[in-house]
Amino acid sequence: MPRQPKKTRVKNPSKSGRPPKSARNLVNQKPDGKTLLAMHRDMLLIRRFEEKAGQLYGMGKIGGFCHLYIGQEAVVVGLQSVNQENDSVVTAYRDHGHMLACGMEAAGVMAELTGRQAGYSKGKGGSMHMFSREKNFYGGHGIVGAQVPIGAGLGFAHKYKNDGGVAMTYLGDGAANQGQVYETFNMASLWQLPVIFVIENNQYAMGTSTPRSTAGTDLHQRGAAYGIVGKQVDGMDVLAVRDAGIEAMEYARSGKGPYILEMKTYRYRGHSMSDPAKYRTREEVDAMRKQHDPIDHLRDLLLREGIEETALKQQDTEIKKIVLEATDIALESPEPSPNELYTDILIEVAE
């Protein structure tokens, strides 16, 4: 019997940071200590998880493409901290962090990376293709930009069902040049869909810097022609992200239509594991790490606020344990049974 990820092991990291039903009056109100700690924990979990994934890739345990989120943690954690129960999330292929922030099990994600039965997609999806209906996470899409109309469709469904949900649709600065993004902006605005387009501008579309690929690098203005409000945010500052998220959420949820958040962020690693990142200097990366690291930033704040160092230590220990256990499961779980080859192609229909 393959070891399955235990449902109870990881608490939904976003839950503790979730605001009350009405997000009103929260902007510019510093979250309480509990919320700050939870966000620190969520970012640290992503960081440690990704570091481990990088190691496992180096050991040949993870195959194919593997896109790490290290450096960008504040974006998804800040935004997911203001998500509500039935909001949906969709993103592209740099997706491990989003899944963890949605409360998906670290073990299930890691086991998918290793292509094992215990993975979220039974090993059939891999790094770029994971989903959780239970957590309203709709992927994990490997085609640049394809998740954007899908996200609008999730927003369409929220509106159609009138369930109050908002579709968080993440895309990168590279995807921001895809045609279907603008087809989507048009429809989302035309039909006032509850969608937040989060452009994670990490400044490099694979190896091409934004100025080299993009005419008009202020990506938050890309919706202006469609009447979509856009805002640029320091994506390395989780509190700024959270504040912007509260504002955008309130806007989209109240029926005013879509909202664009451009998160200025930075990935420390290459585009994928096989990317030597020769298109930027070591100094540039080091400067970001040293001066703008989102986790260090929040950690300093927590300490200034009087949080005991032991509390942070405790978090560190807890996270190490989660990642280790996830790794064990990811390595011990068997590969999918050959019988899985022909399952899940079509849903059987009873005649």
Partner 1 sequence: MSNEIKMPALSPTMTEGILSKWLVKIGDEVRSGDVIAEIETDKATMEVEAVDDGAITEILIQEGSDSVPVGAVIARMSGDDSEELGAPSDGGDANANALPIEAKQTPAAAPVTAPEAKKTLIPHAMEWDGAVKNMTVREALRDAMAEEMRSDEKVFIMGEEVAEYQGAYKVTQGLLDEFGDKRVIDTPITEHGFTGLAVGAAFGDLRPIVEFMTFNFSMQAIDQIVNSAAKTLYMSGGQMGCPIVFRGPNGAASRVAAQHSQCFASWYAHCPGLKVVAPWSAADAKGLLKSAIRDPNPVIFLENEVMYGQSFDVPDSEDWIVPIGRGNIVRQGTDVTITAFSIMVGKALEAAEELSKKGIEAEVIDLRSLRPLDIDLIVESVKKTNRLISCEEGFPFAGIGAEIGMQVNEKAFDYLDAPIMRVTGKDVPMPYAANLEALTLPKSDDIVQAALQACYLEEGI
> Which residues form the interface with partner 1 (CB under 8 A)?
88, 90, 119-125, 129-133, 138-143, 146, 148-158, 160-161, 167, 179-180, 183-184, 186-187, 190, 343-347, 349, 351
**Do 275 and 67 form a contact (C-beta atoms < 8 A)?**
no
Nearest distance, CB of residue 149 and partner 1, angstroms: 3
**Do 90 and 170 form a contact (C-beta atoms < 8 A)?**
yes
CA 153 – CA 155 distance, rounded (Å) = 5
Nearest distance, CB of residue 147 and partner 1, angstroms: 8
Task: Closer to partner 1 by CB, 153 or 174: give it.
Answer: 153
**Do 39 and 17 form a contact (C-beta atoms < 8 A)?**
yes
Say if strands 204-205 and 208-209 run parallel, antiparallel, or are unpaired: antiparallel
Task: Closer to partner 1 by CB, 59 or 346: give it.
Answer: 346
Q: How far apart are the first and last CA of the chain?
A: 33
Task: Closer to partner 1 by CB, 17 or 194: give it.
Answer: 194
Task: Closer to partner 1 by CB, 70 or 110: give it.
Answer: 110
List beta partners, residue 208.
205
Task: Closer to partner 1 by CB, 65 or 279: give it.
Answer: 65
Nearest distance, CB of residue 88 and partner 1, angstroms: 7
Type and span of the H or E element at 234: strand 229-234
Nearest distance, CB of residue 191 and partner 1, angstroms: 8
Structure tokens at 173: 């600065």
Nearest distance, CB of residue 55 and partner 1, angstroms: 25
DSSP reduced 3-state for 141: coil
